[in-house]
Structure 1
Amino acid sequence: MRFSRNATGTLFVGGAMALTLAALAYPGMLGLDKVSSSPDRIIADTQWGPLTEQDRDFVVKVRAAGLWEYPVGQIGLQKGSSKAVITASQHLIDGHAALDTTCRKIAPMLNITLPNVASPQQVGFVNQLKSESGKQFDTDFANILRMTHGSIFNTVAKIRSTTKNSLVRALADQANDTVLDHITVMEKTGLVDFDQTLFQQTTPPKLPDSDLTPPPPAAGQPEVVLTPPPTATSTPVDINGIAGGNGAPGSGANPNPNPSAG
């Protein structure tokens, strides 16, 4: 099965935060195996609670996940050859559009810089699935997505249980529900090879950090927006309810998005 040869690693990616020091603006050594050398280090005190390195990196992980899983969902709607794969594709688009809205709202409030493109490894997943069709596509689609969501599920739980930042905590709540939903719909395809998927999930290969970290956005580049589908059922976090009406402005959906970035 092609998945066993080519689809490797997990969904964990690194992060970026726009601080006053340029050296901290977009860390280059935040790879898939570790969020940072000091994940519990507080990098900013905000009105919503202290922000640690792992908090910051988590926000970027969620954003980067959408930058490749959203277009994979679009591909699945076109190439999926079973009703279950089509349904799973719809859930990817719906769930990540809502998560993307939350990420884009809280990122400027926490002074976090978000990527516009997924990591090279994640782009590789997209390119692999673009090149496939029929049963091969359905099988690799289900296994790759089950593996990546299973990998980040533990990270979501860790952030939710340890963060002292209310905005990050709200994002973790939403991500927990979304990731569990996506795990479930992948399993409902009946195509998941659990032995192979769990092996890939628990023993990711050692890849260069450059393959695992999304590049920083180019200067002046418009922010990529993942637009919710017309029949969206997933709901972004009510940031105004948490922030007391001080939510970030300009975070609504872009009428002319580029959802295929990555």
Structure 2
Amino acid sequence: MPRPRPAAAAAAPALAAVLLLGACQPAGRQASDGAAVAPGANDEAAAQSVVTTDWGPLGPADRDVIVQVRQAALWEIPVARQAQRGAARPDTRRALAEVARRHTGLDRLNRQVAARLNVPLPARPSAEQQSWMSEITGKSGNDYDKTAVARMRMAQGLLYAELGAVRASTRNTLVREFAQRAQPFVDQQMRQLETTGFVTGDTLPDPPAVTAPPPPAQPGRRAGPAPAATTVLSGGG
């Protein structure tokens, strides 16, 4: 495995420390302090329950999006801070510095909302996130830049979609306001990552499943422009 670049290596010990904190956890869910807790039937039932709050019912998807925003911050902030010093290209350093700055603000908002809704938050990256962090620190040069951007852009795309789904469906007004404020944060972070030139088709999440997709136009024939909806609805008159 290639060794990290000298600049990245200076920041690697701090990132490695984050990895070691959770590397030996047994399987199970994480408590609010990040410690592993063995799952049980009561835990699973509670996770699927809807609880009453001052802002309306709080369901599983509401709690999950709050936890996922926190989970993203736990690995993306240290990776972005490391990359702003150790990335090979200036464009990558600038983009990741902005991601770290914005993500820190989003994490602050997320913790405030979680506290008001009494949603426990993790304190360590997940096992999968730790593997991404380890993968990134093991790269050098342009491979370091490309891997950091690819992993982060993929994760941001998934989080953006989850925020949109919760924004559209939640019955909890505080969660709705949070998702409405958080989605532009994530959108801007995706834009920052895309300025690096390392975002390609293989760095994007899979497109959503469509049950009845519209058919493509006939090969070799360009579809004509559709008339205005108001014209169609009025019968063309």
TM-score over 0.5 (shorter chain) = yes
In 2, Cα distance between the equivalents of 1:27 and 1:182?
Answer: 35
Q: Deviations over 1:134-178 (max 9, x none)?
A: 111111112111111112221110011111212212221222111
Q: Which residue of 1 aligns with 2:203?
A: 197
Q: Which residue of 2 aligns with 1:131?
A: 138
Assess, with a 3 A threshold, how the Cα gap between structure 1 residues 15 and 165 changes in structure 2: closer, same or farther.
Answer: farther
In 2, Cα distance between the equivalents of 1:113 and 1:27?
Answer: 16
Structure 1 residue 81 and structure 2 residue 88: aligned?
Answer: yes
Code of the residue aligned with 2:90 in structure 1: it is K
Moved over 2 A (4+): 14-18, 26-29, 36-39
Q: Which residue of 2 aligns with 1:103?
A: 110
1:1-262 counterparts in 2 under 5 A?
28=39, 42-194=49-201, 196-198=202-204, 201-202=205-206
User: 2:55, 2:173 within 8 Å by CA — same for their partners in 1?
Assistant: yes
Task: Say which structure, 1 or 2, has more relative contact order (CA 8 Å, 6+ apart).
Answer: 1
SS in 1 for 2:50: strand
Code of the residue aligned with 2:118 in structure 1: it is N
More helix by share: 2
Number of matched residues?
174
Code of the residue aligned with 2:125 in structure 1: it is A
TM-score (norm 1): 0.60
User: 2:87, 2:144 within 8 Å by CA — same for their partners in 1?
Assistant: yes
In 1, Cα distance between the equivalents of 2:113 and 2:198?
Answer: 36
Larger Rg: 2
Q: Which runs of 5+ in 2 are unaligned?
A: 3-27, 208-237
CA RMSD after TM alignment = 2.8
SS in 1 for 2:199: coil
- Per the TM alignment, residue 16 of structure 1 is displaced from its structure 2 partner at its CA by 7.3
Q: Deviations over 1:40-74 (max 9, x none)?
A: x5521111111001101111100010000000111
SS in 2 for 1:202: coil
User: 1:79, 1:133 within 8 Å by CA — same for their partners in 2?
Assistant: no
In 1, Cα distance between the equivalents of 2:39 and 2:203?
Answer: 29
